[in-house]
Amino acid sequence: MSEAASAKRKEKCENCTKQCNKKNDGVVATAEEHHEANGEASGDSQPLLSACLSCDGCVSEEESLKIGQQNLEELNRILALNKKCDAAEHKVLVVSLCPQSLPFFAVKFDLDIAEATRKLCGFLKSLGVQYVFDTTVAAGFSILESQREFVQRYRRRHHDSQALPMFTSSCPGWIRYAERVLGNLVTPHICTARSPQQIMGCLVKDYISQQQVGLSAEKVFHVVLAPCFDKKLEAVREEFYSSLLDSRYVDCVLTSAEVYDMMERRKVSVAELDSVPLDHVLGEEGDTAPVRYEGRTSEGFLEHVFKHAAKELFGLDVTEVTYKTLRNRDFQEVTLERDGETLLQFAAVYGFRNIQTLVQRIRKGRVPYQLVEVLSCPGGCLSGRGQAGGDAAGRPDKALVQQMEDAYISLPVALPEVNPLLHTLYQEWLEGQDSAQAGATLRTQYRDLSHAPTPHMQW
């Protein structure tokens, strides 16, 4: 790709004016419609890139093939093979549930989240799934590693120009955009902690399968149930394949809506499903009721890092984080002050329109924040297109999203710092928090791919 073509591609994407022949159902929301749906003002009506991968225009043919294998047909294929082939050839099916998917099923089942989770677990096991976990433990690892990295970056900020601001790394849509379009402008600033999905993949394929179940990784078929289509692309990233295990950490990602559609096609009666508790990561019996981490609609990286940094760097205990709305409810900031001095300033930036504003400020050197939690979906993970899609233009169902938010905040809040399971796994699985194994398993690197050829792109 020539420099001129590359520059044109970046300019198009950065201004959200993508013109694409691959429209979802032949409909693309205009900028005006998109902003109206998300409470934002707009002055143009060009087709808008409202989700980074909404049209797959930046996806290579190889990636398209891999993503195409992540669907219900693939799950059904494995289930059918298990019924036909010799038991020795069976795949052990493991499903990991993202906490942000659970409110969707609570609303659809008209149950509280705890009972809806048990019903969902009962359905999955009735299909032939052997183990069902939630990804809260993996999110706990990701939060703890993000906390440690932020403190390290903050302490070297005076002699490392790329230490701050730090951008969160849990959203694959944002990571795709950062690597493919923004490149070195932001990639050195992205937190190296792996996302909860990929840490859960390592936990299932490395620790649970081999140490708890006694199976090699290739004998395990690991499915993640997520609120977001972009998680499918994250699962096929090169660095998330283990040559040592000869296996991907996540074999298939299904969205909440895909699984619910499967239930509807099978005419499943929720009332008749068994209520089955989630499995325990250590294979023990005990409370596996769903919990959430602090945060509005996502994993709560901003709040957990903010409180940890306040205590670790300044000796201040923060009990409640107060958000200040700036442009809209998806662009907010939090500030730590002492005696009139601003000590920390973080921001939560959701949705690509707000991300564009952030990028413009980065280019001008006008970013006052030490950390920015970036998510590509307006409204956060609960509003992921894999469960909150509403009309033909892809605008979220506002009533459904509100119901999911109400259900989500009803979950009890957990603190990863005091979770004994995480401390046990750091020692038994990773040989300690500062070990080389912990670094290799829980961290990754993000690259500048802005000049890499992308043959499938249409602008």
Which pLDDT belongs to residue 282?
Answer: 87
Which pLDDT belongs to residue 287?
Answer: 66
Which pLDDT belongs to residue 1?
Answer: 43
Please count the CA atoms within 13 angstroms of the CA of 217 that sit on its side-chain side.
18
* H/E run at residue 88: none
User: Position of tokens 């660095």?
Assistant: 239
Helical H segments across 69-135, by residue range = 72-84, 102-109, 113-127
Which pLDDT belongs to residue 392?
Answer: 64
Residue 242 DSSP SS3: strand
Pairing of strands 252-255, 166-167: unpaired
Please provide residue 116's backbone torsions phi and psi, each rounded to the nearest 5 degrees.
-60, -40
Average pLDDT of adjacent 10-residue blocks, the chain of 459 residues: 45 37 35 35 32 51 74 91 82 95 97 97 96 96 98 97 96 92 95 96 92 83 94 89 84 95 96 95 80 84 97 96 91 96 97 93 94 93 87 77 94 93 95 95 92 48
DSSP line for 301-329: HHHHHHHHHHHHHH---------EEEEET
Please provide residue 224's backbone torsions phi and psi, each rounded to the nearest 5 degrees.
-110, 130
Which of 317, 315, 375, 383 minimizes the C-alpha distance to 347?
375
DSSP state of 300: -
Please count the CA atoms within 13 angstroms of the CA of 376 that sit on its side-chain side.
24
Whether the Cβ atoms of residue 298 and residue 380 lie closer than 8 Å to each other: yes
Residues 6+ apart with CB under 8 A from 101: 225, 226, 227, 256, 387
- C-beta contacts of 335-341 below 8 A and 24+ residues apart: 336/306, 336/309, 336/310, 338/314
Which of 385, 440, 378, 65 minimizes the C-alpha distance to 233?
65
Pairing of strands 131-134, 166-167: unpaired
Pairing of strands 247-248, 241-242: antiparallel
Residues 6+ apart with CB under 8 A from 450: 6, 10, 179, 180, 181, 182, 183, 184
Residue 363 DSSP SS3: helix
Whether the Cβ atoms of residue 192 and residue 443 lie closer than 8 Å to each other: yes
Please provide residue 352's backbone torsions phi and psi, each rounded to the nearest 5 degrees.
-70, -25
Whether the Cβ atoms of residue 403 and residue 396 lie closer than 8 Å to each other: no
Q: What is the model's pTM?
A: 0.86
For residues 103 and 106, give the distance between their C-alpha atoms in angstroms, rounded to a whole number.
5
